């Protein structure tokens, strides 16, 4: 149990099951990711959210929280700082690398330095334990109002109000504050160019500074997938599903002579091997890659050079 596992103050009388902000906007209540390593506190918060009509998911470690934030695109994150694997502030920084989803820190750390550190890292609000249910719900409702304003702004000016930073989870619908993406979101041009890198999709030819780069079929598929999502984080699971097929795909091996590896560890190990090989062929300095950026514990992103 972490130092943040502080008792929660007794609940106030139950409020209406649907928040005022959701009723006013006509939108469903947001989905909330609860990141808390104490199972009792997590269960209590989950029960409170259930009683007030909120959908929710739970995570007990920082790495699980980062993965769920990328894959499930929650509307709001409630984040404990005292996690067993990595500090909550590092979780905030990791998520802020690709998402602007509202993050409400819920922590027993009450020193100003802790609050300032979390807010400067990218958190939107900070609630100290012990807290009342009424206070927590009020913070969530305030965040809902901000989301409703942002959603209305995007509806009025979709191009101007869209966040510039990439975010979200592959294959999911866009949530407030999050930009979703897909491998086939937009028609790709006949030739992709990024700095000295060029991919002729129709000919299946890759060149770097004018010289042809010889890739294996798997490496080529990885590069094409990344190039069609420039600036957007693709999770490990999404890449594996797109390049090797779903886990239960028993079809014969396709291009490259490799089918989907079995077992989670083997999946990620195989992906890392191919990604390392691809980088050696397109990066001038693999220690400081220009094209393919690693997001530890999440996946990879192709950068615009």
pLDDT of residue 183: 34
Three-state SS for 52-96 is CCCEEEEECCHHHHHHHHHHHCCCEEEECCCCCCCCHHHHHHHHH
Average pLDDT, the chain: 76
Is the pLDDT assigned to residue 108 strictly greater than 80? yes
Is the omega angle on the peptide bond into residue 47 within 30 degrees of 0, that is, cis? no
Vertex 123 angle, CA 107 and 53, to 5°: 75
Structure tokens at 63: 């790495």
pLDDT of residue 28: 66
Pairing of strands 191-194, 103-107: unpaired
pLDDT of residue 98: 79
Length of the chain as a residue count: 305
pLDDT of residue 178: 34
Give residue-wise pLDDT tens across range 39-64.
888 999 999 999 999 999 999 999 99
Give residue-wise pLDDT tens across range 153-166.
666 655 444 433 33
Most confident of 16-25, 26-35, 171-180: 26-35
pLDDT of residue 168: 38
Pairing of strands 205-208, 197-200: antiparallel
φ and ψ of 282, to 5 deg: -120, -10
Is the pLDDT assigned to residue 73 strictly greater than 70? yes
Give residue-wise pLDDT tens across range 228-275.
888 888 888 888 888 887 554 333 333 333 444 443 444 788 899 999
Structure tokens at 213: 């780069």
Give residue-wise pLDDT tens across range 114-133.
999 999 988 999 999 888 88
Give residue-wise pLDDT tens across range 87-96.
999 999 988 8
If pLDDT is split at 50, 70 and 90, which confidence band does 167 have? Answer: very low
Hunting for tokens 């992103």 — which residue is that? 301
């Amino acid at each position: 149990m972490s130092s943040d596992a502080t008792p929660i103050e007794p609940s106030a009388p139950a409020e209406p099951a649907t928040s005022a902000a959701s009723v006013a906007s006509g939108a469903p209540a947001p989905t909330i990711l609860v990141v808390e390593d104490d199972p009792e506190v997590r269960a209590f918060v989950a029960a409170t959210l259930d009683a007030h009509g909120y959908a929710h998911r739970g995570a007990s470690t920082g790495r699980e929280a980062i993965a769920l934030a990328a894959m499930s695109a929650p509307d709001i994150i409630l984040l404990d700082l005292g996690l067993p694997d990595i500090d909550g502030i590092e979780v905030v920084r990791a998520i802020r690398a690709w998402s602007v989803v509202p993050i409400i820190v819920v922590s027993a750390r009450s020193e100003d330095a802790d609050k300032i550190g979390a807010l400067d890292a990218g958190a939107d609000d900070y609630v100290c334990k012990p807290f009342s249910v009424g206070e927590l719900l009020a913070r969530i409702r305030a965040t809902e109002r901000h989301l409703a304003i942002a959603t209305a702004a995007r509806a009025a000016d979709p191009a101007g109000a869209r966040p510039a930073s990439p975010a979200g989870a592959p294959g999911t619908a866009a949530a407030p504050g999050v930009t979703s993406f897909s491998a086939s979101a937009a028609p790709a041009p006949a030739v992709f160019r990024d700095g000295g890198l060029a991919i002729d999709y129709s000919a299946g030819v890759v060149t770097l500074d004018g010289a042809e780069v010889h890739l294996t079929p798997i490496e080529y598929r990885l590069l094409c997938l990344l190039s069609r999502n420039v600036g957007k984080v693709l999770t490990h699971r999404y890449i594996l599903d797109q390049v090797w097929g779903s886990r239960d795909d028993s079809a014969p091996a396709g291009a490259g002579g490799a089918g989907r590896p079995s077992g989670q560890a083997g999946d990620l190990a195989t992906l890392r091997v191919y990604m390392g090989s691809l980088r050696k062929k397109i990066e001038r300095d693999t220690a400081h890659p220009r094209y393919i950026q690693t997001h530890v514990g999440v996946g990879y992103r192709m950068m615009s050079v």
